[in-house]
Amino acid sequence: MLLLMTSNMHQELSEMSEKQSENSEMSELVFASRMMQTRIAPPGSAGSKGERLRNAALTLRWKHSRARGVWYAEPGVSIKPRELRQIEELTGVEYAQKELRTNDELIAHASALLVGHEADFYSAFVAALRSLARPHHRT
């Protein structure tokens, strides 16, 4: 029974991680788009959306077409790591914090499920989960 429960939890965590990985490119793009529209060139910083977009492109030193693709989160556009870091530095908002909190919440949930009369046995499993999840998102 213990092996089955451990196997099921590992499978659920693996499936959740795969889904997050599949959606991470789009999430980064949506994050970048929102930061451009709310922090880099917020409403009121220029008269029209077109002017705001131009200002964002100038601030980021991107070509207008690149800025437009990210601004509107156009299909087929992906955000490069250096561009994401640039946006994070300009805005002071870090995208990776959200994923890190999600992993920590999953680990805490797994820990809560495993607390019981065999806590010593499960603590090694939870420690292994922590050691696998955290370095991936902190590098």
pLDDT in tens, 61-120: 999 999 999 999 999 999 998 999 999 889 888 776 666 667 777 777 777 776 665 556
* C-alpha–C-alpha distance, residues 17 and 73, integer Å: 23
**Of 86, 88, 103, whose CA–CA distance to 137 is shortest?**
103
Predicted local distance difference test score (pLDDT) of residue 117: 52
Predicted local distance difference test score (pLDDT) of residue 35: 92
Computed over every residue of the chain, the mean pLDDT equals 76
Predicted local distance difference test score (pLDDT) of residue 45: 86
Least confident range from 44-48, 54-58, 80-84, 125-129: namely 125-129
* C-alpha–C-alpha distance, residues 41 and 71, integer Å: 10
User: Which amino acid is it at 102?
Assistant: T
Q: Which residues contact 63 (CB under 8 A, 6 or more apart)?
A: 57
- Of residues 15 and 55, more confidence is placed in 55
26-42 mean pLDDT: 89
Label residue 100 exposed, middle or buried (CB < 10 Å: 0-12, 13-18, 19+): middle
**Of 96, 101, 82, 103, whose CA–CA distance to 27 is shortest?**
96
Predicted local distance difference test score (pLDDT) of residue 98: 63
